[in-house]
Amino acid sequence: MRQKIVAGNWKMNNDKAETKALIKGIKKAIKKLSLKNTRVIISPSYINLSAAIKKADNSKIEVAAQNMHQAKNGAYTGEISADMLKSINIETVIIGHSERREYFNETDSILAEKMDAVLANGLEAIFCFGEKLEERKSDNHFAVVESQLKNALFHLEAANFKNIVLAYEPVWAIGTGETASPEQAQEMHAFVRETISKKFGKEVADNVSILYGGSVKPANAEEIFSKPDVDGGLIGGASLKAEDFAAIIKAI
Ligand code: PEP
């Protein structure tokens, strides 16, 4: 079933004490919410995942990783494998964030391998994609998004989609304060659902959650989330403040 999801991407922020304090704050701020059919996910840095899981225990907060290497193990200095994540009870991992694509050269074909590794290990992926500013300005945004989906996901099986969440994140809206309008988000989300439907069937498309990411804040969350094909958000900056993150969760 299609789920509502608010996921926080903490990026390279928060040491161990700050991680625990932020989780405490979020727990308190969302305690009274019923959160029916809504998942709340946070993704602290690798080094604090275990502490975060412990701190989020007995709460509605799920803990995800921000990235994962595609190989089972081996000589990949600085990298983290699916087995390592599973060994500390991580079940969800963000794949293909635009910062990974841009600063760490993660290409579509690497991301296809990462998706294979995530799914083969029974993990869930939050798969990110989205166009750059020049691609939108030149009216290529639909073609870019379609090729990102095709290149990283079209080799998969329909059944895999029960473990995939999609996150449309226009690069020009990430961390810039500029947000896609609710209409722009809806237009792209509908296109993504249609693209998934054509390849994997209507049932898969109807059931997959598609999140919007890019400068979502308490002030704009409700309007964006009100759109029929927007099933929640992937939140960067505003997920680092308990009150703001809770306000965004309330807006769903
Ligand atoms: C993100 O990094 O996924 C993101 C959406 O960041 P921000 O909300 O800060 O734009």
Per-residue pLDDT tens digits of the chain, which is 252 residues long = 899 999 999 999 999 999 999 999 999 999 988 888 899 999 999 999 999 999 999 899 999 999 999 999 999 999 999 999 999 999 999 999 999 999 999 999 999 999 999 999 999 999 999 999 999 999 999 999 999 999 999 999 999 999 999 999 999 999 888 889 999 999 999 999 999 999 999 999 999 999 999 999 999 999 999 999 999 999 999 999 999 999 999 999
- What pLDDT is stored for residue 40 in this prediction? 98
- The verdict on the CB of residue 115 being under 6 Å from ligand 1 is no
For a ligand 1 pocket test, name from 98, 102, 215 the mutation site with the most ligand atoms within 8 angstroms of its C-beta.
215
- The verdict on the CB of residue 125 being under 6 Å from ligand 1 is no
For a ligand 1 pocket test, name from 13, 45, 93, 169 the mutation site with the most ligand atoms within 8 angstroms of its C-beta.
169
pTM of the shown model: 0.97
- Cα separation, 128 vs 163, in Å, equals 14
Spatial contact of 244 and 26, defined as CB atoms under 8 Å apart: no
- What pLDDT is stored for residue 175 in this prediction? 84
- What pLDDT is stored for residue 178 in this prediction? 84
Tell me whether residue 97 is one of the annotated catalytic residues: yes
- The verdict on the CB of residue 235 being under 6 Å from ligand 1 is yes
- The verdict on the CB of residue 130 being under 6 Å from ligand 1 is no
Q: Which residue's CA is the closest to the ligand 1 atom numbered 7?
A: 236
Distance (angstroms) between ligand 1 centre and the Cα of 173 equals 8
- The verdict on the CB of residue 175 being under 6 Å from ligand 1 is yes
- What pLDDT is stored for residue 66 in this prediction? 98
Alpha carbon of residue 232 to chain centroid: 10
- What pLDDT is stored for residue 169 in this prediction? 98
Q: How does 94-118 read in b/e, with b if 16+ C-beta sit within 10 Å?
A: bbbbbbbbeeeebebebbbebbebb
Spatial contact of 165 and 127, defined as CB atoms under 8 Å apart: yes
- Cα separation, 84 vs 93, in Å, equals 12
- What pLDDT is stored for residue 9 in this prediction? 98
Distance (angstroms) between ligand 1 centre and the Cα of 212 equals 10
Catalytic residue among 69, 97, 141, 189: 97
